[in-house]
């Protein structure tokens, strides 16, 4: 499938926000600011929408193709989850006989995305078997989501390997991306000039009231954030240097996400005190952006070194082929 540039830009922006958010939280020890709020609203929903959009297959797969795809997908998501959790535990001197040795909470994204893929495979099989249409598909995915909510209520997490709280929030974004790819009607409704205008307004309102910690406010703001960022990325000129850099980051989000925790160092107390001020939005933005760019550069450097050899590429990232730049 031909790469869709706007999706790479979206993933690149989302990855930048993830690293900036972790710089604020773990390096600068800043938790409640306007910058953190807007990052938390947009970052992960963008990943799940794009992942859902890309997971849809135009042609019908047979059982062998489906199993082969799931095997590759499981390898590329679960291998980094385990390997980099162990690496991070060793680096932070947290080696112990527990699940946390092979699953650091910071890597919940890999596991949540894997579960989304597994649930989607079951749903797609059911949809194709009974030749369901758009409305029936929505009902089917809603039923799967109901099971997720039931698991959340019953606190079923299979010993910690089911990130049910994250699934509760992000699975709808994954399904939205999938339905946008599958049905032109859904895509046209979500990405229209009217939804763009409404989305900008609701994103600002949701950002303003984000301190209320309301599921509905955050979800609506995140949904509109996805619309706004997607529409903006559609207008980015691919010839710009910024676009090319975003594309590189977007094509390499997996290794950046896996490696970046190693470079999130605690900054000096003086600097932390300077940025932890009520109206320090732009100062925080500059500091975290500069440090995030440095961290991403180091991640890409480490990734290139590890990816030179197919054995280390498989061990650390579960990949048999080199990624594009």
One pLDDT digit (tens) per residue for the chain, 325 residues = 678 899 999 999 999 999 999 999 888 888 888 899 999 999 999 999 999 999 987 777 777 888 888 899 999 999 999 899 888 888 876 655 555 555 677 888 998 999 999 999 888 888 877 777 889 899 999 999 999 888 887 777 776 677 777 888 999 999 999 999 999 999 999 999 899 999 999 999 999 898 887 889 999 999 999 999 999 999 999 899 999 999 999 999 999 999 999 998 877 776 777 677 666 788 888 889 999 999 999 999 999 999 999 999 999 999 888 777 6
**For residue 228, is it within any domain?**
no
**For residue 38, is it within any domain?**
no
For the chain, how many structural domains are there in total? 2
Four-point Cα dihedral 3, 9, 14, 19, nearest 10: 110
Same domain membership, residue 120 and residue 9: no
Please say whether the beta carbons of 28 and 267 come within 8 A.
Answer: yes
Residue carrying structure tokens 């990816």: 307
Distance CA 304, CA 298 (A): 10
Distance CA 267, CA 237 (A): 36
Distance CA 323, CA 86 (A): 23
* Domain edge (last residue) among 190, 209, 226: 190
**For residue 202, is it within any domain?**
no
Same domain membership, residue 173 and residue 79: yes
Distance CA 83, CA 315 (A): 8
Distance CA 267, CA 287 (A): 11
**For residue 221, is it within any domain?**
no
Please say whether the beta carbons of 281 and 34 come within 8 A.
Answer: yes
**For residue 325, is it within any domain?**
no
Same domain membership, residue 154 and residue 279: no
Residue carrying structure tokens 């999938």: 178
**For residue 48, is it within any domain?**
no
Same domain membership, residue 82 and residue 21: no
pLDDT of residue 29: 85
* Domain edge (last residue) among 170, 190, 210: 190
pLDDT of residue 1: 60
Q: Which domain holds residue 27?
A: 1-31+236-317
| Burial of 32: CB neighbours in 10 Å, binned 0-12, 13-18, 19+ | exposed
Residue 167's nearest CA partner among 143, 151, 179 is: 151
> How many other β-carbons are positioned within 10 Å of the β-carbon of residue 78?
16
pLDDT of residue 279: 62
**For residue 43, is it within any domain?**
no
Same domain membership, residue 126 and residue 13: no
Same domain membership, residue 66 and residue 14: no
* Domain edge (last residue) among 190, 205, 220: 190
Same domain membership, residue 133 and residue 59: yes
pLDDT of residue 151: 83
**For residue 111, is it within any domain?**
yes
Same domain membership, residue 287 and residue 256: yes
Same domain membership, residue 65 and residue 27: no
Q: What is the pLDDT of residues 216-246, one digit of tens each?
A: 999 999 999 999 999 999 999 989 999 999 9
Same domain membership, residue 149 and residue 248: no
Same domain membership, residue 300 and residue 182: no
Same domain membership, residue 185 and residue 58: yes
Please say whether the beta carbons of 45 and 222 come within 8 A.
Answer: yes
């Amino acid at each position: 499938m031909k790469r869709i540039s706007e999706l790479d830009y979206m993933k690149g922006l989302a990855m930048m926000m993830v690293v900036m958010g972790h710089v604020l939280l773990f390096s600068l020890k800043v938790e409640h600011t306007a910058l953190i709020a807007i990052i938390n609203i947009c970052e992960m929903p963008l990943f799940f929408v794009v992942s859902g959009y890309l997971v849809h297959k135009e042609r019908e797969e047979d059982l062998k193709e489906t199993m082969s795809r799931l095997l590759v997908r499981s390898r590329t998501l679960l291998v980094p989850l385990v390997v980099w959790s162990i690496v991070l535990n060793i680096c932070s001197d947290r080696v112990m006989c527990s699940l946390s040795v092979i699953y650091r909470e910071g890597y919940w994204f890999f596991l949540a995305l894997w579960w989304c893929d597994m649930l989607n495979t079951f749903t797609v099989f059911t949809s194709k078997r009974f030749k369901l249409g758009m409305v029936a598909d929505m009902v089917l995915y809603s039923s799967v989501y109901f099971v997720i909510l039931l698991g959340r209520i019953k606190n079923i997490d299979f010993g910690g390997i089911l990130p049910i709280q994250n699934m509760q929030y992000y699975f709808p974004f994954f399904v939205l991306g999938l339905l946008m790819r599958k049905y032109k009607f859904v895509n046209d409704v979500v990405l229209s000039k009217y939804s763009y205008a409404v989305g900008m307004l609701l994103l600002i309102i949701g950002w303003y009231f984000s301190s209320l910690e309301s599921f509905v406010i955050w979800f609506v703001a995140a949904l509109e954030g996805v619309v706004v960022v997607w529409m903006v990325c559609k207008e980015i000129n691919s010839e710009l240097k910024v676009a090319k850099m975003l594309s590189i980051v977007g094509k390499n989000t997996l290794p950046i996400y896996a490696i970046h925790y190693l470079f999130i160092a605690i900054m000096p107390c003086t600097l932390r005190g300077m940025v932890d001020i009520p109206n320090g939005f732009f100062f925080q933005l500059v500091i975290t952006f500069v440090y995030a760019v440095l961290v991403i550069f180091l991640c890409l450097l480490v990734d290139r070194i590890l990816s030179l050899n197919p054995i280390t590429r498989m061990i650390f990232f579960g990949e048999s082929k080199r990624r594009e730049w």
